[in-house]
């Protein structure tokens, strides 16, 4: 069974600085999807970044980028120029690729989250 581990329950960073959130996962699959979701105090779940495992290039979205190390099964999130609005819980998640049959294609597995505080 797949598992997702976020080893940092809480982190803090000064405004304008850079922070990296770690995520590791365990799978025997070769094709899969990885996600980072953000949950601010409003509780709304918002996608930050999505990565397809077969793509070598690391995904980026403005100030957010990932370091995807497939062999190490690592998917860390880097937030540059941190802003107060980045304060939130961040969840890493894993899903098997739709082309892989054998059930559980739609099973999305989340890590337990990292609470990030951005300080002024």
Question: Is residue 110 a contact point for another protein (CB under 8 A)?
Answer: yes
Question: Is residue 91 a contact point for another protein (CB under 8 A)?
Answer: yes
Enter the DSSP assignment of 30. Answer: S
Q: Which of 6, 8, 9 lies closest to 26 in space, CA to CA?
A: 6
Question: Is residue 84 a contact point for another protein (CB under 8 A)?
Answer: no
User: Whose Cβ is closer to another protein: residue 9's or residue 120's?
Assistant: 9
CB under 8 A: which stretch of 21-29, 55-63, 79-87, 111-119 binds another protein? 111-119
User: Whose Cβ is closer to another protein: residue 9's or residue 85's?
Assistant: 9
DSSP reduced 3-state for 83 = coil
Residue 98 CA to residue 105 CA, distance in Å, equals 6
Closest contact distance (angstroms) between CB of 15 and another protein is 27
User: Whose Cβ is closer to another protein: residue 33's or residue 58's?
Assistant: 33
Residue 72 CA to residue 28 CA, distance in Å, equals 12
CB under 8 A: which stretch of 19-27, 56-64, 70-78, 89-97 binds another protein? 89-97
Q: What is the sign, positive or negative, of the torsion defined by CA atoms of 119, 21, 50, 101?
A: negative
Torsion of CA 17, 50, 55, 64, to 10 degrees: -10
Q: Which residues inside 19-58 make contact with another protein, applying CB under 8 A?
A: 33, 35, 43-47, 50, 52
């Amino acid at each position: 069974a797949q598992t997702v581990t976020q080893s940092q329950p809480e982190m803090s960073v000064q405004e304008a600085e850079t922070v990296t959130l770690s995520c590791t996962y365990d799978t025997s699959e070769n094709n899969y999807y990885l996600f980072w979701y953000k949950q601010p105090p409003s509780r709304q779940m918002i996608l930050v970044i999505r990565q397809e495992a077969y793509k070598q290039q690391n995904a980026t979205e403005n100030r957010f980028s990932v370091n995807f190390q497939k062999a190490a099964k690592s998917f860390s999130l880097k937030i540059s120029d941190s802003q107060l609005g980045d304060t939130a819980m961040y969840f890493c998640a894993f899903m098997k690729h739709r082309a892989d049959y054998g059930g559980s294609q739609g099973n999305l597995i989340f890590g337990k989250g990292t609470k990030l505080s951005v300080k002024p």
